[in-house]
Amino acid sequence: MTMSWQLEAEASAGRGVTARRWRMSNGLGLISAVDRRAPIVALQTWFRVGSRHERPGATGMAHLFEHLMFGQTEQLPPGEFDRLVERTGGESNAATWVDWTYYRLSLPARDLELGVKLEAERMQHLVLETGPVESERDVVTNERRERVEDDVDGWLDEQLMAHAFTQHPYRWPTIGWMEDIRALALPDIRAFYRTWYAPNNATIVCIGDFDEDHLRELIAQYYGGITPAQLPEVPRIVEPEQTKERVVRAPKPIATDRLLVGYKAPGQDDPDWAPLEIVSTLLAGCPSARLHRKLVILDESASSVDAQLTPFRDPSLLRLAVTCARGHNADEILQTIDRELTSLIEKPPTAAEVEKAKALAETDFWSSLVDVDGKAEALGHYETALGDFRKLDAIAKRLTTVTADDVARVVRTYLVPTKRTIVIAEPEDDEGEDDEPEVEGDGLAPAPGIDA
């Protein structure tokens, strides 16, 4: 059965570990790497479907599957999937983001075949009926309440994406708008499953203590009979260039102002992504970072500041999140951020400062490869979001070549007020206020409201 496989690529995935990508004739991808340091395996199935593949009015569909896929199949009664996994001592989970959905099994090495069998079963034989769908819909609405409605950070995040993007599907939340979650129709749910859950839209990533030939035999045995799907062409939506700063404000039951700023940034595979990642570290990625030192330590105007460059396939955001200190407000913090960014352009970082960010990136890189789950997640992300697991290593190498001039250039290019969206949550007054966001910007309508 191993004859049906084609070896497409191989690369190092950490010390003494080689990852190989194989392809089966039905299009199923497999990335495998043997790591025998513990008698366990990470078995992950990555699908090239995320919230970007949804349509307005049916948001949250990809994430709903993260729940439904643990339900009944033709061979497994309700709850049996989890019982079979947990009886081994293993764990299962799943994650959905804009570019992908993945299903994770952590299993004792001896139970690899069980994992392969379960994943193949739910890829092709999921039972989608009214009862279980309604039950999971209730669970997802509660998940949304916990993570968005009652969580100021979740609300900030959702509003940022909703206003930073006007055309691209990154504008809606992965969990979906509440009204959409409630309205997702069973025929559409079934159609989504038939469309995207297919071997030619998936990559299995398996890292751990197993024999590679045996793994391919198992996968051929359980997946070999699954026919590929006719995958729809995904339209390439280009977000129009942002030309004016956008600002959203709303009162929340919080102690001090919260500020989230998103600057338009390139996709993860763009050459400018690496220098922006260094900028992110220099601004707020470590205790000596410029904004952290200025806002938290010297001015004491913020209690925390964080920076993140989102690792999306298409252009996304470099985000700065700030919690204001008592007696300080978001507008004052924004002025300080602008001054620090100007300073980064006028006085580019020293070579030593850039080297510092590179050293921290090196530590982060190795930290992501410490265990088999982390290795599988890193390889799965790069393979699914960027099309090649070897980008993990390639982007890490790009980081080592960034110069101080690169840093100044990308700050000048990307971190400008006209390309940013600002979301501010402010403490409510004692009367309690309507929490409908107030929006300023270039002709933006408020994002779908908060479900109360």
Considering only residues 314 to 333 of the shown chain, the ones binding other proteins according to CB under 8 A are: 323, 325-326
Q: Tell whether the torsion through CA atoms of 384, 385, 388 and 389 is positive or negative.
A: negative
- Minimal distance, residue 183 CB to other proteins, in Å: 17
Our CB check for other proteins shows the closer of 156 and 220 to be 156
Check residue 207 for interaction with other proteins (CB under 8 A).
Answer: no
- Minimal distance, residue 282 CB to other proteins, in Å: 10
By CB under 8 A, which span of 133-141, 161-169, 235-243, 384-392 interacts with other proteins? 133-141
Check residue 129 for interaction with other proteins (CB under 8 A).
Answer: no
Instruction: Enumerate residues 218-277 that contact other proteins by CB under 8 A.
Output: 252-256, 258
Instruction: Enumerate residues 45-84 that contact other proteins by CB under 8 A.
Output: 70, 79, 82-83
Our CB check for other proteins shows the closer of 352 and 445 to be 352
Check residue 216 for interaction with other proteins (CB under 8 A).
Answer: no
Beta bridge partners of 101: 47, 96
From the list 44, 38, 35, 36, the residue with the least C-alpha distance to 12 is: 35
End-to-end CA distance of the chain: 55
Check residue 342 for interaction with other proteins (CB under 8 A).
Answer: no
Count CB-CB contacts under 10 A for residue 142.
11
User: Residue 1: which residues within 8 A CB-CB, separation 6 or more?
Assistant: 216, 217, 220, 221, 224
Q: How far apart are CA 250 and CA 452, in angstroms?
A: 15
Our CB check for other proteins shows the closer of 219 and 289 to be 289
- The letter for the amino acid at 65 is F
By CB under 8 A, which span of 4-12, 335-343, 349-357, 409-417 interacts with other proteins? 349-357
Looking up tokens 């050459």, which residue turns up?
A: 271
- Give the start-end residues of each E strand in 4-123: 5-12, 18-24, 29-34, 40-47, 91-96, 101-108
Check residue 288 for interaction with other proteins (CB under 8 A).
Answer: yes
What SS3 class is residue 307? strand
Our CB check for other proteins shows the closer of 88 and 221 to be 88
Our CB check for other proteins shows the closer of 171 and 328 to be 328
Check residue 370 for interaction with other proteins (CB under 8 A).
Answer: yes
Q: What is the rounded (10 degree) CA torsion for 80, 231, 219, 103?
A: -40
- Minimal distance, residue 365 CB to other proteins, in Å: 9
CB–CB of 22/32 below 8 Å?
yes
Q: How many residues bind other proteins (CB under 8 A)?
A: 73
Check residue 14 for interaction with other proteins (CB under 8 A).
Answer: yes
The token duo for 402 is 């960034």
Our CB check for other proteins shows the closer of 79 and 387 to be 79
The token duo for 292 is 């952290």
Check residue 113 for interaction with other proteins (CB under 8 A).
Answer: no
Candidates 9, 152, 229, 416; binder of other proteins (CB under 8 A) is: 152
Check residue 356 for interaction with other proteins (CB under 8 A).
Answer: yes
The token duo for 373 is 């789950």
Count CB-CB contacts under 10 A for residue 268.
23
Q: How far apart are CA 400 and CA 25, in angstroms?
A: 38
- Minimal distance, residue 159 CB to other proteins, in Å: 16
Quick note: the x/- pattern for other proteins over 78-107, rule CB under 8 A, is -x--xx--xxxxxxx-------------x-
Our CB check for other proteins shows the closer of 23 and 182 to be 182
- Minimal distance, residue 244 CB to other proteins, in Å: 30
Check residue 351 for interaction with other proteins (CB under 8 A).
Answer: no
Instruction: Enumerate residues 412-451 that contact other proteins by CB under 8 A.
Output: 428, 432, 435, 451
Would you list the DSSP string of 248-266?
A: EEEEES-SS-EEEEEEEE-
CB–CB of 34/99 below 8 Å?
no
Candidates 3, 287, 346, 429; binder of other proteins (CB under 8 A) is: 287
Q: How far apart are CA 116 and CA 269, in angstroms?
A: 31
- Minimal distance, residue 153 CB to other proteins, in Å: 8
Count CB-CB contacts under 10 A for residue 221.
14
> Measured in whole angstroms, how far is the alpha carbon of residue 98 from the centre of its chain?
6
Candidates 3, 15, 232, 443; binder of other proteins (CB under 8 A) is: 15
Candidates 54, 66, 119, 136; binder of other proteins (CB under 8 A) is: 136
CB–CB of 255/427 below 8 Å?
yes
- Minimal distance, residue 2 CB to other proteins, in Å: 28
